[in-house]
Structure 1
């Protein structure tokens, strides 16, 4: 009797776990996770790009000052 109760409980827990995993694979959930992941990655790329462009502009200003080339606004 106890063995049957154990296996019945085990089967119920496994069924519950599998059902939750299957619900997580529902197309709406997958699409939502994909969109949020892509949005997060896009934000990271934007942050990196703005940092890189800011550093490049600072370095250009530093090099122009060192070699006496003047402002970058007055390109020939």
Structure 2
């Protein structure tokens, strides 16, 4: 069974702020797996945690967010 997280829970788990996660969503670096129709809360799963680990690792290697977007797009092809 998959773990499901709200944005605030994903932020705590990953060490990123909710503001940063929303920015990553706008850039397409992070994708939600769904939304609650009643509350519009975004839902994420363990793959989101893994994606954030990749982003953090690439940032430590001094990649820009644009370069990270490009690199992650290539890995999904």
TM-score (norm 2): 0.28
Q: Which has the higher contact order (CA 8 A, sep 6+)?
A: 2
Higher helix share: 1
Higher strand share: 2
Larger radius of gyration: 1
TM-score (norm 1): 0.28
